[in-house]
Amino acid sequence: MDPILQVKDLDLWYGAHQALHSVSMDIPEKSITAFIGPSGCGKSTFLKTMNRMNDLVPGVKITGEVRYRGEDIYAPGTDVCRLRREIGMVFQKPNPFPMSIYDNIAYGPRTHGIRSKARLDELVERSLRGAAIWDEVKDRLKKNALGLSGGQQQRLCIARALAVEPAVLLMDEPTSALDPISTSRIEELTMELKERYTIVIVTHNMQQAVRISDRTAFFLLGELVEYGATEQVFSAPAEKRTEDYITGRFG
């Protein structure tokens, strides 16, 4: 099967600072790919190139190629709204909108023109179920989402991302603000989601990468040092720099 995302020779500058150096990577469909590496090595930057979130940063320059289902997403004429609907994102800190649980989920579908209450009800339930939070919130859908716990808020944000029916979910350290129980719920959920979605996750937690990911990419100073099956990267890294990092010798 062709990879769902194919990146070739990607360079990225923030002004004069080059944050990514000739990164190439193929990401297979319906799998979990983890990005690891020390702080500032470019993991989040690289993640955000995949749905053009960096376009929002002034002074960014990007060269190289990112293909989603074979199409160059940086080609002129790309519909960035459609791209971000297909490739959704979940951030480090849960960021629900200050509105009801129901409206948080219905927001995206409404902006895409869905008005029917029955259809929205169905989408809200399906998305909340998909993010393993339905049972906890089904009796309080009209309550403000900010009243949920941090872990619940993060699952709500995952549900919100699922509501527009994406193919890929980019997750930027989605558990780093959560307690261990909420973390393990999100990890379980992520593993369930890969049946239907392609997941790319940035994590500082190497055990998390080992527990949930199929493939791992190790970044250092804006360079992709090693990328392979998670088991191989952690048990028999090909590169000395990977080995030094995973054994805690630096970073």
Ligand X SMILES: Nc1ncnc2c1ncn2[C@@H]1O[C@H](COP(=O)(O)OP(=O)(O)OP(=O)(O)O)[C@@H](O)[C@H]1O
Footprint of ligand X on this chain (CB under 6 A)?
14, 17, 19, 37, 39-45, 57
Q: Minimal distance in Å, beta carbon 122 to ligand X?
A: 37
Nearer to ligand X, 95 or 235 (CB): 95
Cβ-based nearer residue to ligand X, 19 or 171:
19
Nearer to ligand X, 42 or 166 (CB): 42
Question: What is the nearest approach in angstroms of ligand X to the Cβ of residue 103?
Answer: 30
Closest separation in Å from C-beta 34 to ligand X: 13
Closer residue to ligand X, CB minimum distance, 57 or 146: 57
**3-state SS of the chain?**
CCCCEEEEEEEEEECCEEEEEEEEEEECCCCEEEEECCCCCCHHHHHHHCCCHHHHCCCEEEEEEEEECCEECCCCCCCHHHHHHHEEEECCCCCCCCCEHHHHHHHHHHHCCCCCHHHHHHHHHHHHHHCCCHHHHCCCCCCEHHHCCHHHHHHHHHHHHHCCCCCEEEEECCCCCCCHHHHHHHHHHHHHHCCCCEEEEECCCHHHHHHHCCEEEEEECCEEEEEEEHHHHHHCCCCHHHHHHHCCCCC
Rounded least distance, CB 183 to ligand X, Å: 17
39 or 115: whose CB is closer to ligand X?
Answer: 39
Q: Shortest approach of ligand X to residue 251 CB, angstroms?
A: 10
Nearest distance in Å: CB 102, ligand X: 32
What is the C-alpha to C-alpha distance for residues 207 and 26, in angstroms, rounded to an integer? 23
17 or 115, CB closer to ligand X?
Answer: 17
Beta-carbon-side half-sphere exposure of residue 73 (alpha carbons within 13 Å): 26
